[in-house]
Structure 1
């Protein structure tokens, strides 16, 4: 009987050790647009478990799971109205659902001179809804403009543009007209605990660089420090 007891207590101790090693610490981080990231990290300080980006506490912008610091399984992005914008499976590397109504409002240019590729290639897609995309880039553009002109007022119509290379690496900028002069501003999206992941454009198994653009209206009448509202311009 003592042998069985020893085996039992040894197994119990091993189970407890495994549980401690897999302990997760829940954390939160506030993004520049005042949305909130809720995530967990393991003892190695790597992302592990459920990951969410929340708007207004009760609305979800993005939801998925991390395993050992890598995105895993199904990830969902949501529009402002709560509808699913996309579902992407990281294990399969496959886009399972896309809101075609929202995505048809964006402009895409594939970086190739081949007309067949331009016509047939898949478009680049952010693992984030267009509403979240506008919220983050619009907030950064507002910050950049106010840094140069603290008295900026009214509204500003701008193209929020992403240049995506064939590996899915993105750089951001905004195009607009001020006093009749075309202006381009670099936007730096450098959030703690969050980055927009991109599916690059592809055709016949080959990835292509591309440009992804959304028209939005930035309101400078709103006070800083509160959740900003940005309007799609169709």
Structure 2
């Protein structure tokens, strides 16, 4: 039992550090837990819950980061859509049959891994000079499907949100912080639904979350010492291999 707790802690440690340094931690956590035999839907929702503490730290730091998106009514609408979409996505996951989600998981992991690889190749959000003049409704329509996807699975959702903010012409540095806050809102709403459902694998979530918190704190201190490109390669390689492994188990 202690060995299993230690292994899960190390998985969280790696995911937390990768999130801080290069991103992609949720991709590895969900894929690894599913590959180790955890039901796919439980692996996904447990990952969302366990990785939330680390996201709270970055999201709190970015709590004023929605200012470039628009005036106060627009910001309130965007935040509400993030929360509602995350809750809806979580609800969809809970009503999705485990077998069906298991069949879809390899494709979700490969999609998230491909998105991660594309984002890494492209170097993140393109340069921008200011927010696009869109109303609250127009931004909400664009954000809503990303929020639902984030609550349902979430792998790679950071890159989708970042791409949306770039499309809105939010300056890159502000977009990075706004992305952290929006993803936090999405995942916080999903976490509330998952915890209330009683479906979270607490024995996994506790060591995983502890490891992610420590790894995230360590990662912030290693940003200037470790080449992010090497970590990105690890995420892409592991995500692809684990997706193929799960596909071989679920599809054949």
TM-score relative to the length of structure 1: 0.22
Q: Which has the higher helix share?
A: 2
What TM-score does the superposition give when structure 2 sets the normalisation length? 0.21
Bigger relative CO (Cα 8 Å, ≥ 6 apart) = 2
